[in-house]
Amino acid sequence: MASLTVRQLDERLKKLLRLRAARNGRSVEDEVRTILREAADQVGTEVLENFTPPSVHSAAPSRRGVPGDAKRVLLIIGGGIAAYKSLDLIRRLKERGFYVRCILTKAAAHFVTPLAAGAITGERVFTDLFDPAHEFDVGHIRLARETDVIVVAPATADLMAKVAGGHADDLATTVLLATTAKVLLAPAMNPRMWSNKATQRNLAQLITDGFALVGPNEGEMAETGESGTGRMAEPLEIAAVVEKLFGRGQSLSGKRVLVTSGPTHEPIDPVRYIANRSSGKQGHAIAAAAAAAGAQVALISGPVNLPDPPGVTTIHVESAHDMLAATERALPVDVAIFAAAVADWRVANAGEHKIKKSKGQATPNLALVENPDILSTIAHRKSQRPMLVIGFAAETENVAANAKVKLASKGCDWILANDVSPQTGIMGGNMNTIELVTAKGVESWPPQSKDDVAVMLISRIADALLKEKP
Ligand code: C5P
């Protein structure tokens, strides 16, 4: 607070104050205090009578500070271990052109700091319901109104219970009660908390009340040894749902996409075969992501232990020959992605009958012949060549350099190269680290789940088709 020294006032003012003080029987200091109090009271009454928060009464919610016509997302971060993923979610939403502001619940602040969330959003982070500065400047009603979508991630069991019950005892719940915007919940909690009757009852209420939901997913929990349903949906998954809420998610709508996936089995005889360790996880994830983006998808899958992705036409094959035939039958397509680990060789004369093992007989000699290269065959087609042909390159050394050579030799447009050395755990695992090799150069993607790689690839494909310059 500023201090005021009467001695420093001009002589005329001091004289007037002395006269006024004497008339009222007060000291000069007391007289000054009285004058200030009366003036402040009068100004205060006028301010309170005439001040109407513009956002509450104005016809259209203010877009102050929002770049262009960017859609506004208010992210409410709840207090759970998954909160760390919400920082990545902010990044993903901003990548998609959303204007993001954040509310952190008190519990969330134990997991992520307002400073971190503020640094990534580039905006002030809101935490308190009764913060006079915030109330004057933004206020919970404005926060609730000046947003197009609210995302609650992680939505904890407690937060879900409060919202289902209409509680409003902190900034997050007050905003959720005051908003008319669409709200997307990304629940995250221990599987037993998720399956608890109370949580399921609250969930049913929230769905009835029109809340949208993404996840929770199945998998490992942060607590050692715990797994089940309760993992928060991945940031890319949440961002994709937010895009859908704005009607933007169908980036491949009307496009035909073909994906090969999994290993091939090359028969030795009717019961034996040559195979490899491909799980098909990456190819299947790509097919699922393409379908989620609105594409019409044909998945040509070798033998895998995975369910057919929803919304995808899956054709099951065994050998490289069958895979090539099925691929050619699926043409024409706009985009073809060759994620299958096709066996390079097959047995020249696979036996029609089981090869018998008998004592004293020499071991069979398996003569191998080269399999057709499906990627190269499709990429070099004169007719019905897809607009965008994408291959994978599984390497164990000089990943990008070898992929560049492969890009040219296979005649494809893009190669997703990855290091499959045993220590990377990529073969059969859930994570992948990609280098995207195109005619323009090499782009290193961060280590991420195969699902995230799929979503990122589909987003790149959509961009390329939009520019029509694959
Ligand atoms: O030559 P290499 O097997 O490393 O090439 C990998 C890429 O080529 C992958 O996209 C794979 O699906 C594709 N490929 C194919 N047919 C083959 C061998 C590989 O489509 N016979």
pLDDT at residue 59 is higher than 50: no
Do 91 and 221 have their domain in common? yes
pLDDT the model gives residue 242: 92
- Candidates 194, 197, 203; CA nearest to 161 is 203
Do 177 and 295 have their domain in common? no
- Identify which of 266, 317, 368, 392 to mutate to test ligand 1's pocket (most ligand atoms within 8 A of the CB): 392
- Least confident among 63-72, 144-153, 442-451: 63-72
Q: Ligand 1, closest atom to CA 377? A: 20
Instruction: Please tell me whether the peptide bond between 332 and the residue prior to it is cis, using omega within 30 degrees of 0.
Output: yes
Residue 22 within a domain: no
Do the beta carbons of residue 311 and residue 297 sit within 8 Å?
A: yes
Averaged pLDDT score across all residues of the chain: 87
Residues forming a β-bridge with 449: 431
Average of per-residue pLDDT across 228-232: 90
Do 161 and 138 have their domain in common? yes
pLDDT the model gives residue 134: 53
Do 329 and 227 have their domain in common? no
CATH number of the domain to which 441 belongs: 3.40.50.10300
Q: How far is the CA of 148 from the centre of ligand 1 (A)?
A: 45
- Candidates 156, 149, 150; CA nearest to 202 is 156
Q: Evaluate: CB of 98 within 6 angstroms of ligand 1.
A: no
Choose the final residue of a domain: 184, 218, 245. 245
- What is the C-alpha separation between 385 and 379, in angstroms, rounded? 6
Average of per-residue pLDDT across 420-424: 78
Please state the domain count of the chain: 2
HSE of 293, CA atoms in CB hemisphere, 13 A: 25
Do 291 and 209 have their domain in common? no
Cβ neighbours of 345 (radius 10 Å): 14
Choose the final residue of a domain: 245, 278, 309. 245
Q: Mind telling me the catalytic residues?
A: 276
Do the beta carbons of residue 270 and residue 353 sit within 8 Å?
A: yes
Do 263 and 240 have their domain in common? no
- Least confident among 72-86, 217-231, 438-452: 217-231
Q: Evaluate: CB of 457 within 6 angstroms of ligand 1.
A: no
- What is the C-alpha separation between 180 and 245, in angstroms, rounded? 14
pLDDT the model gives residue 357: 87
Kindly report, residue by residue over 347-402, the tens digit of the pLDDT.
998 988 999 888 888 888 899 999 999 999 999 999 999 999 999 998 888 888 99
Distance of CA 455 to the CA centre of its chain: 9
Average of per-residue pLDDT across 423-442: 85
Query: Largest Cα–Cα distance in the chain?
Result: 131
What pLDDT band is residue 55 in, cutting at 50, 70 and 90?
A: very low
Residue 407 within a domain: yes
pLDDT at residue 459 is higher than 80: yes
pLDDT the model gives residue 437: 94
Q: Ligand 1: which residue has its CA nearest to atom 4?
A: 393
Do 126 and 261 have their domain in common? no
Residue 98 within a domain: yes
pLDDT the model gives residue 58: 36
Radius of gyration of the chain (CA): 32
- What is the C-alpha separation between 345 and 105, in angstroms, rounded? 58
Do 100 and 184 have their domain in common? yes
Residue 35 within a domain: no
pLDDT at residue 60 is higher than 70: no
Residue 52 within a domain: no
Residue 315 within a domain: yes
Do 153 and 228 have their domain in common? yes
Residue 58 within a domain: no
The identity of residue 111, as a single letter, is F
Do 239 and 277 have their domain in common? no
Buried residues in 443-453 as b, exposed as e (16+ CB within 10 A): eebeebbbbbb
Q: Evaluate: CB of 144 within 6 angstroms of ligand 1.
A: no
**Residue written as tokens 């090539």?**
324
pLDDT the model gives residue 62: 64
Angle between helices 171-178 and 157-164 (to 10 degrees): 40
Angle (CA) 372 377 381, round 5°: 155
Instruction: For residue 377, give its domain range.
Output: 256-346+366-467
3-state SS assignment for residue 172? helix
- Identify which of 374, 377, 405, 407 to mutate to test ligand 1's pocket (most ligand atoms within 8 A of the CB): 374
Q: Evaluate: CB of 280 within 6 angstroms of ligand 1.
A: no
pLDDT at residue 469 is higher than 60: no
- What is the C-alpha separation between 183 and 150, in angstroms, rounded? 5
Do the beta carbons of residue 231 and residue 218 sit within 8 Å?
A: yes
Six-digit token string for 335: 């985009």
Q: How far is the CA of 141 from the centre of ligand 1 (A)?
A: 57
Residue 37 within a domain: no
pLDDT at residue 48 is higher than 50: no
pLDDT the model gives residue 50: 46
Q: How far is the CA of 416 from the centre of ligand 1 (A)?
A: 11
Choose the final residue of a domain: 245, 274, 296. 245
The identity of residue 24, as a single letter, is N
**Residue written as tokens 């018998």?**
356
3-state helix, strand, coil in the chain (%, to 5): 40, 20, 40
Q: Evaluate: CB of 260 within 6 angstroms of ligand 1.
A: yes
pLDDT the model gives residue 96: 82
pLDDT the model gives residue 209: 94
Do 279 and 315 have their domain in common? yes
- What is the C-alpha separation between 151 and 153, in angstroms, rounded? 6
- What is the C-alpha separation between 160 and 126, in angstroms, rounded? 20
pLDDT the model gives residue 431: 86
Q: Evaluate: CB of 393 within 6 angstroms of ligand 1.
A: yes
Kindly report, residue by residue over 242-296, the tens digit of the pLDDT.
988 887 767 798 999 999 999 999 999 999 999 999 999 999 999 999 998 889 9
Kindly report, residue by residue over 301-333, the tens digit of the pLDDT.
999 999 998 889 999 999 999 999 999 999 999
CATH number of the domain to which 148 belongs: 3.40.50.1950
Do 291 and 229 have their domain in common? no
